[in-house]
């Protein structure tokens, strides 16, 4: 006789989900200029323009997702352009 699983019990494995990065804010910090906030779950990081550009290039080389980083860079550039035109 083989072993049996009692009725009513269900076994499953929870697959870890990779949380997506999100662009969540653009801030003008005195002495620093504009920085973008990128979140992954509860972790938040701030990047300046050069940091975003570097990270985008690095991730593109490894085939990683850069959507949130590119969105942040586009917004940072458009705000900077709008302020120069004013």
If you write DSSP's letter for every residue of 43-65 in order, what string do you get? EEEEE-HHHHHHHHHHHHHHT--
- Given a contact cutoff of 8 angstroms between Cβ atoms, the answer to whether 38 and 51 are in contact is no
Q: Where are the domains of the chain?
A: 22-85
Query: Is pLDDT larger for residue 39 or for residue 13?
Result: 39
Judge whether residue 78 has pLDDT over 70: yes
CB atoms within 10 A of CB 64: 12
For the whole model, what pTM was predicted?
0.73
- What three-state secondary structure class fits 75? helix
Rounded to whole angstroms, the Cα distance separating 28 from 46 reads: 11
Residue 34 to residue 30: CA distance in whole angstroms? 9
């Amino acid at each position: 006789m083989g072993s049996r699983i009692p009725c009513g019990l269900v076994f499953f494995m929870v697959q870890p989900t990779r949380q997506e990065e999100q662009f969540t804010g653009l801030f003008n910090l005195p002495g620093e200029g504009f920085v973008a906030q990128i979140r992954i779950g509860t972790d938040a990081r701030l990047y300046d323009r050069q940091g975003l550009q570097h990270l985008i290039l690095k991730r593109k080389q490894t085939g990683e997702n850069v959507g949130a980083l590119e969105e942040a860079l586009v917004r940072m550039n458009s705000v900077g352009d709008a302020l120069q035109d004013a």
